[in-house]
Amino acid sequence: MSTYGQFCPVAKAMELLDERWTLLVVRELLLGSTHFNDLRRGVPKMSPALLSKRLKSLTRAGVIERSEIDGRATYSLTPCGRELAGVVDALGAWGVRWIGDLGDEDLDPHLLFWDMRRTIPIDDWPRTRTTVAFILDGVAPKASRWWLVVADGQADVCDFDPGYDVTGTVETTLATLTRIWRGDVGWSHAVLDGTVALSGPAEVRRAIPKWLGQSLSAAIPRPA
């Protein structure tokens, strides 16, 4: 690990935390991921080898601990690591307010639907199994169809047809859905201006924006 050669606590902290991907791995652990494959879904462009390396360095630093449960490696934050929640939240809020531009390289349907799956308001969904299909324009055909299934209080996301009856459908671009999820634009505005098309019975079309909601960062105030 490189050093800054400074006694400043900020410099000492950044010797660990400013290695590429490190804080994003911490972010995933804060959001509830505990297994290697789940962590990979939250950082899909990070190589498995580098993820393993970062987990080892964070373990050595006392930020996370590794345990075995039923023969499966499980990662969790220590009290030291959980204290980084305020740091990650502050960086996220700052990024929402001041780093708003998104390029094509920032758009990833796998990451978007993984984030949606773990934070949608499941309590607002029907008690019976409910499937919402997504048709995305502007992406490769193999990444253009997605299904979000909620059943028994659990959400799952599929990039293949799970075979269930579709309750409603969302048609839009990946960029628009990402902007809605981030809170850059609201559901009602996107539906009214035609950048999002909702299909299904009238009550389902009205309910889909509530079922899906927006990310936690959507509530962060933007500059005027």
Terminal CA-CA length for the chain: 41
* CATH number for position 143: 3.30.1050.10
For 117-146, what is each residue's pLDDT tens digit? 989 999 999 999 999 999 999 899 999 999
For 30-39, what is each residue's pLDDT tens digit? 999 999 999 9
Which of 44, 75, 98 is the last residue before a domain boundary? 98
On whether residue 50 sits in a domain, the answer given is yes
Boundaries of domain holding 71: 9-98
Q: The whole model's pTM is what?
A: 0.88
Model pLDDT, residue 1: 60
Backbone dihedral angles phi then psi of residue 40, each to the nearest 5 degrees: -65, -35
Please state the rounded mean pLDDT for residues 105-121. Answer: 93
Domain shared by 85 and 147, yes or no: no
Which of 72, 98, 124 is the last residue before a domain boundary? 98
Model pLDDT, residue 71: 85
Which of 54, 76, 98 is the last residue before a domain boundary? 98
Residue percentage of the chain with pLDDT more than 90: 87
* CATH number for position 49: 1.10.10.10
In this structure, the dihedral spanned by the alpha carbons of residues 104, 101, 214 and 132, taken in order and rounded to 10 degrees, is -20
Coil, helix or strand at residue 38: helix
Domain shared by 83 and 108, yes or no: no
Question: Are the beta carbons of 180 and 196 closer than 8 angstroms?
Answer: yes
Strands 64-69 and 197-199 come out as unpaired
Model pLDDT, residue 101: 81
On whether residue 208 sits in a domain, the answer given is yes
Q: How far is CA 79 from CA 27, 62, 63, 83, in A?
A: 15, 9, 8, 6
